[in-house]
Amino acid sequence: MALVEVKQITKKFGAYSAISNVSLTAQDGKFLILLGPSGCGKTTLLRMIAGLELPTYGDIVIGGKVATRLHPKDRNIAMVFQNYALYPHLTIYENVAFPLRVRGFSGDIDKKVKWATSLVGIEHLLERKPRQMSGGERQRTALARSLVRDPSVFLLDEPLSNLDAKLRHSAREELRQFQERIGVTSIYVTHDQVEAMGLGDRICVMQGGVVRQLGTPEEIYLNPADTFVASFIGSPPMNLISDEGRTIGFRPEMFLPESAFDPSEALYRTEFTVQRIEYLGGDRILYGMVGASLPSSKAIARLPATIGTLPEVGTTAKFAMRLSDIRYFDGEGKAVEQSRRHEARLVVNG
């Protein structure tokens, strides 16, 4: 069931359209990621779902009811901001209890606070103040403060962006476990594709105020809708090479020395001249130029350390990829079905 529906939303600031005719749904109990570069409109869209911004056109439906003009407090949503918005002069206990006191909660506040803080593992820190806690602990406090309201939807605006790399990894895992445990619908804004791929049940990739693709992490990674998604998702991103009016795309980890494949496989073969190698523990990233059957262009190969002898910098080696791993894009950058005629030409050239 769709718990949150965004229907043909447009948001204008004067003549500028921050969001242009966007429609999407967030399924009940699932994690939806709004992903894109800075300025793509993802935070503006989140703020409209929260009621902090009003759309110029279109509607927002929450739980089957039109909420477009509802005040934020009447939407049964909770929002976790990038800086967590904790009150520095209050203890963690009082920060978590604050929304209950403001709303005149008539139940047992102490019981509610201890329930929420135990869910996120900070029940032993209730007498501390935010400045005495780590970034990860402050993030959990913000989650607990949102949780005590029993929201039907969690909105999270880049809540991990202020953490260092090590904390972000552990906080991401904790956040996903937390969401699965409570089963609440969550909409999460980020520009970090690793966060998006690791957290999302579905990912909405945005650019320039429009949705470029909405799908599962696997769908978006393996079958990008256009060259923007192909180049934005993946580290390193998909190789994109222009060839006869269309673009050929292939992932770096699928571009391997020809010897790594079974000779009976249908392959696209080419030469690869290595210009630089990066060591990344279990992987090696090779930067270079492809040629021969492919038009001369920059390309990247991601090879596992177990693959054997690597070509050296400055040398040219025979590389290949499976025909089934190649994606094609038209002159406007939109994904197209694989052409049998084009595949046949590749086999001949290979």
Separation CA 205–CA 195 (nearest Å): 13
**Predicted local confidence at residue 347, as pLDDT:** 41
List the chain domain ranges: 2-222, 236-349
Picking from 50, 49, 64, the residue whose alpha carbon sits closest to that of residue 9 is 49
Q: So what's the pLDDT on residue 295?
A: 64
| Domain 2-222: which CATH number of 3.30.360.10, 3.40.50.300, 1.10.10.10, 3.30.420.10 | 3.40.50.300
Q: How far apart are CA 210 and CA 22, in angstroms?
A: 6
Please name the residues in contact with 223: beta carbons below 8 A apart, sequence gap of 6 or more. Answer: 215, 327, 335
- List per-block mean pLDDT (blocks of 10 residues) for the chain, which spans 350 residues: 89 95 94 95 96 96 94 90 85 93 85 88 92 86 86 89 75 82 91 92 97 97 97 94 87 95 91 93 93 78 86 94 94 78 42
Q: Which residues pair with 278 in a beta bridge?
A: 285
Residue 292: per-residue pLDDT: 63
Nearest-5° Cα angle at 282, 277 to 287: 20
pLDDT, residue 118, reads 87
Any idea which residue has 């059957």 for tokens? 293
Helices (H), the chain: 42-50, 92-102, 109-119, 135-147, 165-182, 193-199, 217-222, 227-232, 340-349
Distances in whole angstroms, Cα of residue 147 to Cα of each of 79, 151, 154, 282: 10, 7, 9, 39
The class level of CATH for 236-349 reads mainly beta
CA separation for the pair 126, 38 (Å, rounded): 35
Closest CA to 49 of 2, 104, 101: 2
User: What backbone phi and psi angles, to 5 degrees, belong to 233?
Assistant: -100, 130
